[in-house]
Amino acid sequence: MFGVPANQAAEMLIEEINASGGIGGVKVRPIFVDEGPGVAHFVGEYRRLVQSEKVDIVFAAISSADCLACAPLAEELKRPTILWDCSTQRIFEENRYDYVFRTIGNSTPEILAPLLYLLKMKPDFKTVSVINQDYVWGRDSWAMFTAALNVLKPGVRVVSEMFPKFGATDFSTEITRLLALRPEVILNASWGGDLDAFIRQASDRRLFERSTLVMPLGESSLERVGKSLPPGHIIGARGDHWFLHPKPADPKLLATFTEAFHRRTGIYPIYPCHHMAQAIFATKKAYEIALARKNGGWPNDAELAAAFKGLEFPSLTGTVRIREDGQGVQDMIMGTTHLSDRYAFRILTDMIVFPGEMVTAPVGQVSLDWLRTLKPEMLGRIPQPVPFKA
């Protein structure tokens, strides 16, 4: 679902790097491993890559469970490891690492930005429901959403909480209940086939006419669900990842990547592609810094790891900064689904790019505790929405 497009993005970008001479004159040789079989398999593969294949750096992983398992291992083996896609905030809030870095934001901005966007665009809602997958992200994201909602807009009534099992294919009963309850807002932080199936089934039964859906990971489903998703619903992208970003730092970079990826795969790049690009761009930049610090000498593991601390590197749309605790800080884009004749699926309008610092818990603070300290005054600092321009 996410591994394949990210893999395709990696192959494309590494080909480009190697075509231009590699990193410090050294060609990059990627080894791809499927993390699908589970944590035990993944940990074994991590050890194999480091100890047998002797890779210089590891990019891991999509699953937060895999990241939680490999972070201590990376520290033990002292091998620089990039958490390129997993988002659990626990990694850097519960431990300190010298060899582990995340080149994207974490769960907190991914759920706070959708809430702030909702409060900006639809401030008068009084009832909310949740339908999330029954696993760590589904439960954690709802806990964070309600923690922030309770302080930013007290008094909103939660009319139902549903956590269908991960990988569910039939949401008809949940949809009937939501149709009967008529919540003004429904949070659905699901992703992949679960979210696609929910959107199609909800669309067939006109749930979108009764409630506003907030889908923090919806960007990755937009092209797949096509016109099933009506206009007027709230979409997030786990970062400022959007191929029609209203103000990319380097418009040519984004356009070139989007066009090349679409030509190669037939689909538009979704957020895992952006995440992979960020991991590759960060690695290239860290090597360049480490090489410069050593006057062109190839850096060892500790020297490379040191180059990641405080690193600022370009993403496809903006700039990402890696803090002293290893956590990346990046902007979050939110938008509302919109009709366009140019695309066979919904695109975004009324886009707001939230500054990373605004929606990320500061270093040393636990996200859930930090969210409870937010003040409604922060709503006044939300940037103005930018409409889609054809």
Partner 1 sequence: MSAWFVENGMLLGLATLDGVSSAASVFMVAVGLNLVFGVLRVLNVAHGSLYAIGGYAAASTSLFLLARGMPAWAALPLLLVSSAIVGGILGPPIERLLRLMQGQEEVLQLLVTFALFMILEDGQKLVWGVRPVVSDAPVKVLGTIEVPFGSDAIPFTAYQLLVLPGVALLTLAVLAFVLRRTLFGRMIVAVTVDREAARAMGIDAGRVTLLTFSAGAALAALGGALASPTTSLVPGIGASTIVLSFAVVATAGLGQIEGAALSAFMIGLGRSLAVYFAPELEVVVPYLIMVAVLLVRPQGLFGTLEARRI
- The DSSP bridge partners found for residue 170 are none
134 in the Ramachandran plot: left (φ > 0), alpha (ψ -120 to 50) or beta?
beta
Q: Return the residue of 11, 75, 161, 325 that touches partner 1, per CB under 8 A.
A: 161
Task: Pick the stretch among 112-120, 150-158, 202-210, 240-248 that binds partner 1 (CB under 8 A).
Answer: 202-210
> From the centroid of its chain, how far is CA 195?
15
CB of 355 to partner 1, least distance (A): 34
Task: Name the region of 127 (left: φ>0; alpha: ψ -120 to 50; beta: rest).
Answer: beta
Task: Please identify which residue in 29, 126, 206, 293 interacts with partner 1, judged by CB under 8 A.
Answer: 206
Within 88-117, the residues that bind partner 1 by CB under 8 A are none
Minimum Å distance from CB 244 to partner 1?
A: 21
DSSP 209-221: GTSEEEETTGGGG
Residue 27 in the binding site for partner 1 (CB under 8 A): no
Is there binding between residue 180 and partner 1 (CB under 8 A)?
yes
Q: Which of 77, 162, 260, 386 binds partner 1 (CB under 8 A)?
A: 162
20 C-beta neighbours (distance < 10 Å), count: 8
Asked if 333 and 352 count as a contact pair (C-beta separation under 8 A), the reply is yes
CA–CA gap between residue 324 and residue 321 (Å, rounded): 10
Kindly state the smallest distance separating residue 346's Cβ from partner 1, in Å. Answer: 16
> Is 139 a residue that touches partner 1 (CB under 8 A)?
no
Residue 237 CB partners (closer than 8 Å, separation 6+):
217, 218, 219, 220, 271, 332, 333, 334
**Shortest reach from residue 37's CB to partner 1, in Å:** 11
**Residues 208-267 contacting partner 1, CB under 8 A:** 224, 228
Which residues of the shown chain bind partner 1 in the complex (CB under 8 A)?
A: 1, 3-4, 134, 160-165, 167-170, 172-174, 176-177, 179-180, 182, 192-193, 196-197, 200-201, 204-206, 224, 228
